[in-house]
């Protein structure tokens, strides 16, 4: 009987150790493995959303690349070129003189009278002067003109057809007080020319 109690005691100890071992394993599973599995699930979900977001961004990038390629392949025949003088080493006034002469011819051909003209060469606020002042000359003309509606319309159409790049910065049209068919026009025009 003493031997049986001894065996029973060893068996109880073995069961106790085995129970303790099972408890430790379950405790480790609950505290370590289950959170890891949950984080793996979270990471997997996040990976799915990030990969779909990445796919969306790739499609957007592809469409932007295609748009850029279309813009680069655009027909450049509609873009006017800058005036380029024949002689090199001219100052700003000399470079734009030919263009200004073209503008005066347009004014005369459309029977528009010029009350005043103010010149400003290479104005500091012009974006072309800021970005490429060493390559371009700019002349800002502040002109006050007198014309009727039809002559002004024809002049603006001729300016639009002008073969070189120019910019109508501002136009202000006021009827003359004594005769409403006559217009007083304040026109700000910028002429651009490449330096040679």
Pick the CATH number of 92-194 from 3.10.20.520, 3.30.70.60, 3.40.710.10, 3.40.50.2300: 3.30.70.60
Q: What is the DSSP string of 41-102?
A: HHHHHHHHHHHHHHHHHHHHHHHHHHHHHHHHTS-GGGSPBPB--SSSS--HHHHHHHHHHH
Task: Please state the pTM of the whole predicted model.
Answer: 0.54
Structure tokens at 56: 């969306």
Per-residue pLDDT of the chain (196 residues; tens, 9 = 90+): 667 788 788 888 888 888 888 888 888 878 887 788 888 888 888 988 888 888 898 998 888 888 777 765 554 445 667 666 666 666 666 667 778 888 889 899 999 999 999 988 888 887 777 777 677 778 888 999 999 999 999 999 998 888 778 888 899 999 988 888 889 999 998 888 777 6
pLDDT at 112: 92
Tokens 């026109």: give the residue. Answer: 187
């Amino acid at each position: 009987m003493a031997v049986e109690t001894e065996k029973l005691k060893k068996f109880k100890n073995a069961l106790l150790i085995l129970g303790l071992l099972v408890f430790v394993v379950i405790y480790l599973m609950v505290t370590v493995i289950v959170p890891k599995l949950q984080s793996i699930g979270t990471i997997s979900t996040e990976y799915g959303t990030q990969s779909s977001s990445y796919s969306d961004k790739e499609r957007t990038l592809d469409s932007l690349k295609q748009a850029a390629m279309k813009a680069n392949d655009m027909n450049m025949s509609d873009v006017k070129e800058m005036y380029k003088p024949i002689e090199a080493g001219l100052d700003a006034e000399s470079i734009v003189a030919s263009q200004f002469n073209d503008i005066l011819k347009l004014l005369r051909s459309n029977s528009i009278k010029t009350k005043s003209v103010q010149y400003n060469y290479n104005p500091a606020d012009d974006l072309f002067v800021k970005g490429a002042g060493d390559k371009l000359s700019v002349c800002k003309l502040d002109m006050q003109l007198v014309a009727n509606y039809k002559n002004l319309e024809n002049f603006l159409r001729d300016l639009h057809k002008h073969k070189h790049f120019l910019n109508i910065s501002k136009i202000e049209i006021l009827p003359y007080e004594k005769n409403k068919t006559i217009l007083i026009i304040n026109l700000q025009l910028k002429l651009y020319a490449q330096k040679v």
